[in-house]
Chains A and B, each alone.
Chain A
């Protein structure tokens, strides 16, 4: 019968103090918000030439359309125009994956412009754009490879291939690295 004595409180009883419940609710909301993985990974498609049937995708590349990129250590990219047939006369330069003066993107865009305005190329060759040979050295890492493939996408270059690095090119980048 004690309840009757506190009968005055009976009127206020439909109001429950919700504060702790709200606290708990928001705590849980925060927890689930933080643990939810928003960033779903993306996939970059990569097609390689058919190695077992090498004639299928083989194509002759004009030197004037090509640029070769060699991925070296410490995130450096060595690049030169052409495909490196004439190793002695190629002038090799160094680029980086940053936005500065020596960024590889600027070099690629410059070269792309060059190819697209080259009067010696046919209209089709111009519209196909330039050809990029990507040669990762043993000392490059996976990030460099993905970054350079990404640069292809950013600069809107459609023809590119990942190729093994050759011995003369290794020597070339060694000599540049020493400078």
Chain B
């Protein structure tokens, strides 16, 4: 008869320990998760065997989509706003303070200067959609890049950072299907102003020769 009693007891498990573990893990993942910021331009990056993680600071990332559109992203908000001020001066566009705040938080942008106001003054709910439809930063290659907006952006970002101790590094984040001429143009723009060292953003992949 004692056996029957034991069987009855065992149906209710003590869940406390399991619960503890579950919530410990939950807390860990909640704290370590960094949500991926919204990306207006989807870029499917190629992989390589290099294993140098991307630096967190002082990076300017030039994304090139598979349709050849070019988006730019700079992490430091101050640098962004200062560069925007300088661009506004050159292109004779006045931005309000509210628009500048929006710009400092917007992430990658691909708006040509004449469309920038549309993007920054857009309603927050539809801004992501508008940002994704932007035609990309202008890449006019004529006359020594004198009308090229990307050239101007790069130039101004660098001049903003010139006074500070740390240098801005430029990285190219290209889609696997991007045609080479678009990449070549971007590299030419960087080289034109003596940026000869830059990074290509890739995913990690195993070295096929390492096994041997």
Contact = CB atoms under 8 A, between A and B. Distances in A.
In this complex, the member of B36, B50, B171 whose beta carbon has the largest number of chain A beta carbons within 10 angstroms is B50
A153 B203 contact: no
Contacts of A15: 12
A143 interface: yes
Interface string A5-43: 000000000010111011001101100110111011111
Contacts, number: 156
B33 A142 contact: no
Nearest to B210: A154
B18 interface: yes
Q: Is the interface of B mostly helix, strand, loop or mixed?
A: mixed
A42 B25 CA distance: 27
Interface stretch (B87-95, B124-132, B194-202): B194-202
Contact of B29 (A33, A46, A47, A71): A33
20 contacts: A18-B19, A22-B19, A25-B19, A35-B35, A41-B53, A43-B200, A44-B201, A48-B197, A51-B192, A140-B180, A141-B176, A141-B178, A142-B46, A142-B64, A142-B183, A146-B46, A147-B48, A153-B48, A154-B49, A154-B207
Interface band, chain B: 35 or more
Given A29-B25, A50-B196, A51-B192, A44 B180 contact: no
Interface string A94-134: 00000100000100000000000000000000000000000
Given A43-B199, A99-B208, A142 B175 contact: yes
Interface residues of A, number: 49
In this complex, the member of B34, B177, B180 whose beta carbon has the largest number of chain A beta carbons within 10 angstroms is B180
A49 interface: yes
Contacts of A50: 194, 196
A162 to B, nearest CB: 8
Contacts of A28: 26, 30
B5 to A, nearest CB: 15
A47 B195 CA distance: 9
B180 A22 contact: no
A142 B202 contact: no
A45 interface: yes
